[in-house]
Amino acid sequence: MDFPLYAPAEEHDMLRETIRALADEKIAPRAAETDETEEFPWDVYKALVAADLHAVHVPEEYGGAGADALATVIVIEEVARACASSSLIPAVNKLGTVPLLLSASADLKARYLAPVARGDAMFSYALSEGEAGSDAAAMRTRAVLDGDHYVLNGTKMWITNAGVSEYYTLMAVTDPSAGARGISAFVVEKADEGVSFGPKERKLGIKGSPTRQVILENVRIPASRMIGDPGTGFKTALATLDHTRITIAAQALGIAQGALDYAIGYVKERKQFGRPIADFQGLQFMVADMAMKLEAARQLTYHAAAKSELAMHGQPQRDLTFLSSAAKCAASDAAMEITTDAVQLLGGYGYTRDFPVERMMRDAKITQIYEGTNQIQRMVMARQLLK
């Protein structure tokens, strides 16, 4: 795979123009309403499907666009610039399907990746539980072998796009005596008997993306729906996050870029003391710092994406775990700072819902929390450095 490690190629720049035009036309005008109503934006999903941008990472052999990891980052980044909730469509489709790409049988890949590529189904990822968040290996959801089927019982929590996704990559304990090595991964379908969903969580941000419990009550599924071998589920989960933390970094970059762009436009127009507030050096320094932090995080994220792409094509990258954690942590911390400063630059207006930056600030917060809190990311990075 020959593409520059740090800089997007010409086709990446063309992709950015395409997705930005779509986002400006179809997604940004709906973002405030999506946040207010807390409804999943099905029209945005349809627009992304029509443009083949809803799951660009799915390989061509399953009917997907076959986009590389950097292209996927750019798509998520540009959608998030307009609407963070909508950016979870391509991001979570990747999160749910990477375990299959890494570990599933050929039959399972063909069966479940093709409908995602067509836009007939979305894929979510069910790892966390109420008592197993940062300590995901402490999960209690059980899968018991019964003939050629497994019977699943338990409750998964904080599941993004739960209820709107048709398919779920779900981790469950198959051997309680083996700790993390007793966890296996399965594909569970929304239509499986015994699958239900908790009420929507009432959240600070990303309100257009439902976050719900996935409840399993004697859910009986064919053993052929196990992803990889028994006991390899947790290993697959960790390997998946090496690739998908980069998509959270992308989301953070997009949210931050949206806030920076809006704030720059505002300070050039807003007048105080008889001149645009952009003339004041104190505010100029704020804008400079915002842009500097954003660009540093972007370069780190793109570098991590390039490493992710090599790793997905059978070229192991020893520093991928460090880089993906670093990108996620740096980009989300930057997004929180940049969106907070954008609210400050707009003053009283920034604090109102009539302007988009307060929404962006609320949306940015989750990027420091999900797919591993930034405290966990720092532990992961330290372990990689010190081992």
H/E stretch holding 356 reads: none
Type of residue numbered 48: L
Return d(Cα 86, Cα 215) in angstroms, integer: 25
Question: The tokens of 73 are what?
Answer: 């980052």
Buried b (16+ CB within 10 A) or exposed e, 84-99: bbbbbbbbbbbbbbbb
Concerning whether 371 is annotated as a catalytic residue, the answer is yes
The C-alpha angle 256, 262, 265, rounded to 5 degrees, equals: 140
**Residue partners of 307: CB distance under 8 A and separation at least 6:** 5, 317, 319, 320, 323, 324
Residues 6+ apart with CB under 8 A from 139: 127, 129, 132, 154, 171, 172, 173, 183
Residue 174 near residue 184, CB atoms below 8 Å: yes
d(CA 287, CA 291): 6
Exactly one of 77, 129, 358, 371 is catalytic; which is it?
371
Tokens of 180: 């993390």
Burial of 2 (0-12, 13-18, 19+ CB in 10 A): exposed
* Ranges assigned E (strand) in the chain: 123-126, 142-146, 149-160, 167-173, 183-189, 195-197, 211-222, 226-227, 271-272, 275-276
The secondary element (H helix, E strand) that includes residue 346 is helix 320-346
Estimate the crossing angle of helix 28-37 against helix 42-50, to 10 degrees: 150
Question: Which tokens sit at 169?
Answer: 């990559």
Q: Active-site residues: which are they?
A: 371
